Amino acid sequence: MDKVVMVGVFDFVNFHVCKALLDKGIEVRGVQIESEEDEDMIIEKRLEIGRNANFTEVSFGDITKDKNKNETIVLSVYDLYMRYKEEYLLNEDMLFNLIRKNQWEKVAILVPSQLLNEVIDSKPEVIIEDFIKRTYAWNKNIHLLYLPTIYGPWQPDTFMFQSSILNERNRGKPYKGLREETGDALFVHDTAQFILEIIENQQPGRYLLHSGKSNQWEKCAAFLGIDEQESNPILQIREEGITKIIVNSTVPISVGLTKQVEHANRLYSE
C-alpha cells in the first residue's frame, strides 16, 4: 500500500488514519466532503499534516478523473454518521460512483458498529446499510471495518464525551442526542494503527474492532463525570462473516481522555 486516497480526510477518525499513513511514509491524497465544521478547525488540521511532502489535498474532480490502479481508497462512513451527514451516501455522482468507477487496488470503508445489530430500523442506518449492499454488489473485495465509540483529540461534539467537555467550558452546542455505541470505546490513536494493519495485512472482509474489555464506554463516561442514563448498545450482533479484532490499548482510558480534554482546552482557549 504505497498510495492512498482519503475521502473525508479532515473528519475525526479518517484524519487520524491519514496521520498514521503519513507517519509510515505512505503518499496520501485527501479530499474533504463538505463540512459545517468551524473553518478554524480545518485550518488547524491542515497545519498538522499540510507540511508533509507526502500529503496533497485534492478535489472530487481530481479523483474521479484518475484511473490509478495502485491506489487504495478509504471512506469513513462512520464519520459521516457521527456528523449527521449520512445522506451524502445517497448522492450517486459523489461517493458511490467514486468507488465504483475507479480501479482501486483496495477499498476500505469504516462504518458504525450499530450496523451489526440484527435489526436495522432507523433511517440513518438503513441509508448506510443500503450503501454497503450496493457497494458489495459491485465489488466484494472490500475491507469493511466496524467501529464502536472512538475517543481522543479532535472528537466532534456530536459525541457525548466531547459535548460534555465543551459544556464544562460553556462552549458546547445543543446536544443532538446519543448516536455512538455505548457498549465499547477505543482510543483513536490505537484504532488508526489497527485500521492500517488490517487494510495492509488482512484479506478483504468484515472486521469488528473492539477493546476486548467490558464497560469501556461507561468507564470513559465515569472519568468525565457523565451521569447519563441514555444507552445505545449493540443489542444482538450479526456474527456471521465477522472477524473480531481486539485493539490493544497503548494508554489507559484516563490518559487518552486527558489528551482529549487538553486538546479541546487548547483549541477553545485560542
In a domain, 263, yes or no: no
Cα–Cα–Cα angle for 220, 158, 44, rounded to 5 degrees:
95
Domain annotation covers residue 58: yes
Q: What is the pLDDT of residues 107-163, one digit of tens each?
A: 999 999 999 988 787 899 999 999 999 888 888 889 999 999 999 999 999 999 999
Instruction: Enter the pTM of the model.
Output: 0.92
pLDDT surpassing 90 at residue 63: no
Q: Which of 75-79, 94-98, 162-166 has the highest mean pLDDT?
A: 75-79
What would the grid cell of residue 48 be? 498538522
pLDDT of 155 reads: 96
The Cα 78–Cα 73 span in angstroms is: 15
HSE toward the beta carbon, residue 224, CA cutoff 13 A: 29
CATH assignment at residue 101 = 3.40.50.720
Integer angstrom CA distances of residue 103 from 68, 106, 207, 219: 6, 9, 23, 43
pLDDT band at residue 227 using 50, 70 and 90 as cut-offs: confident
Strand positions, DSSP E, 10-158: 27-31, 55-57, 71-76, 106-112, 142-147, 149-151
Residue 109 domain-assigned? yes
The grid coordinates listed for 34 are 463538505
Nearest to 229 by CA among 186, 184, 182: 182
How many folded domains does the chain comprise? 1
For residue 203, the enclosing domain spans: 3-155+185-212+242-249
What mean pLDDT is predicted for residues 14-27?
96
- Nearest-CA neighbor of 259 among 85, 62, 35, 16? 16
